[in-house]
Amino acid sequence: MRLLLITLLILQTGCAYYARDIRVQTEVGVHADISRYTAYIWSESITSLNDPSGKWQPPGFDITEDIRQLIDRELAKRGVRYSTTNPGLAVSFRLAANMQALELVKKPNSSQDMLIIKPDATLIVVLTDIASKNIIWISKAEAEIQQDIDAELVRKRLDYTITEMFKGLNNKSWF
């Protein structure tokens, strides 16, 4: 029994070690009901980078395409498929990276604060009802940009993030 508890604790704390800094917030429209939708189209997707010093290194793959594929997967799980014929939803996202982001931290062995550069990224995904043009669902994820990690770890972090973002989206009414 003790071994089982220790194993479960290790699995629980170790399964997403690479995602500890990722924070997700999701908002749902008052009359949103995902079960009304069967098809979507892609709307505008924006990627922006604030990196005047040129420190950011591309992850070694097309990050925009990977995000699209992960969103496609999450919507398909809920019965909503990409189609240009009669779509009810428009899907868009914005990915922004800021290599000059600042954070206020305590100096070691001191009560004083200091500003440090702590690069961060934000991903926002929006679902809009095409007929009414109302946003029915929006989710935002923020995370620190991890330096010197390989493409596979970046992909794992993206997968975790988008899975978490879509957890509140299901096939029944949200209300």
CATH classification of the domain holding 50: 3.30.160.670
Q: Please indicate, yes or no, if residue 173 is contained in any of the structural domains.
A: no
Q: Please indicate, yes or no, if residue 10 is contained in any of the structural domains.
A: no
Rounded to two decimals, what is the model's pTM?
Answer: 0.79
Residue 129 has pLDDT above 80, yes or no: yes
Q: Please indicate, yes or no, if residue 73 is contained in any of the structural domains.
A: yes
Q: Please indicate, yes or no, if residue 26 is contained in any of the structural domains.
A: yes
pLDDT at 91: 96
Taking CA atoms, 127 is separated from 65, 105, 114, in Å, by 18, 36, 39
Report phi then psi at 11, rounded to 5.
Answer: -65, -40
pLDDT at 13: 40
Q: Please indicate, yes or no, if residue 6 is contained in any of the structural domains.
A: no
Q: Please indicate, yes or no, if residue 41 is contained in any of the structural domains.
A: yes
pLDDT at 169: 75
End-to-end Cα separation, the chain, in angstroms:
41
Quote the domain boundaries for residue 79: 22-168
Q: Mind listing the pLDDT tens digit for each residue in 12-58?
A: 444 467 778 888 888 877 667 788 899 999 997 777 777 777 777 66
Domains identified in the chain, total number? 1
Q: Please indicate, yes or no, if residue 140 is contained in any of the structural domains.
A: yes
Q: Please indicate, yes or no, if residue 78 is contained in any of the structural domains.
A: yes
